[in-house]
Amino acid sequence: MSPLITPEELAALGDVTILDVRWRLGGPPGIESYREAHIPGAVFCDLAADLAAEPGPEGRHPLPAPGDFQAAMRRLGVSAGRPVVVYDDADSTAAARAWWTLRYYGHPGVRVLDGGLRAWTQAGMPVTKETPPAAPGDFTAVAGGMPVLDAGRAAEIASGGVLLDARAAERYRGEVEPIDPVAGHIPGAVSAPTGQNVEPGGRFHKREFLRERFNTLGVVEGVPVGAYCGSGVTAAHEVLALEVAGLPAALYVGSWSNWVADPSRPVATG
């Protein structure tokens, strides 16, 4: 089953949990957009509060503890036996973080609305301001459903496999760094901005296009692959695009914000 779902496919589903994961680094809060209009039946999922722990040495968006994530998902109505569809209003970057975290903690049936809310409304589907009551879910969080990297393993893959840097190319090169205290990239990493995963309008490119793109970057069968970004959000989008292409990859959740927390780790530029 594809990790993506179309507006028409979502509209045809019966019993489904829909999570609105609109979020932008620096704001405004996604809940404001949710209150203005959202897909009927959707509940708001806060990326910073529900899909990440507090910032620290592990990164700006470290993994939430299993108990915290389980409690958040149950509050939002997530159950293991009910499919989950996640969406945002841009290119599925925030939605991908929800997809990946739910998969990591063991949910068997989570998909991303391809093109997000924009695709939904362009398809003529309705929106609402009504906030539905979320019946408590029974989801149990069990870690390990998706492969992860720490800093040491990320360095190994950068040396002996393919480590994809999902940030914009100018951040990879170290020309600018608007967020983290050090500019540059992990030595050996390959620049692979996530903006190239999607078409204008925010839908993912077709499987064949993505597979060719990643093949060109060195991602082929049998080669260990990892992805990182600034804080593990955009890189989840890279992992999602790789899965669409049929190419499994591990996520360095702490990403650059964790890498540069240790000044002894090397930094490359250019």
User: What does each C-alpha distance from 62 to 7, 41, 97, 259 come to in angstroms?
Assistant: 31, 29, 11, 12
Concerning whether 229 is annotated as a catalytic residue, the answer is yes
Sign of CA dihedral 250, 74, 110, 192: negative
pLDDT in tens, 247-270: 999 999 999 999 999 999 999 999
**pLDDT digits 0-9 by tens, 69-115:** 999 999 999 999 999 999 999 899 999 999 999 999 999 999 999 99
pLDDT tens for each residue of 158-217: 999 999 999 999 999 999 999 999 999 999 999 999 999 999 999 999 999 999 999 999
Structural fold of domain 4-122: Oxidized Rhodanese; domain 1 (3.40.250)
The pLDDT, as a whole number, for residue 132 is 87
pLDDT score of 58: 96
**pLDDT(244) > 90:** yes
Architecture of the domain delimited by 148-259:
3-Layer(aba) Sandwich (3.40)
For the chain, the average pLDDT equals 96
pLDDT number for residue 59:
96
Residue/partner pairs of 137-140 with CB below 8 Å, 24 or more apart: 137/17, 137/73, 137/74, 137/75, 137/76, 137/77, 137/78, 137/79, 137/82, 138/74, 138/79, 138/80, 138/81, 139/70, 139/73, 139/74, 139/78, 139/79, 139/80, 139/107, 140/70, 140/80, 140/106
Band of pLDDT at residue 134, cut at 50, 70 and 90: confident
DSSP 268: B
pTM of the model: 0.96
As annotated, the residues of the chain forming the CATH 3.40.250.10 domain(s) are 4-122, 148-259
Task: Report the alpha-carbon distance of residue 22 to residue 238 in Å, rounded.
Answer: 18
For residue 260, give Cα distances in angstroms to 11, 181, 183.
Answer: 44, 8, 9
Task: Please pick, among 72, 73, 166, 229, the residue that the annotation labels catalytic.
Answer: 229
pLDDT for 98 equals 98
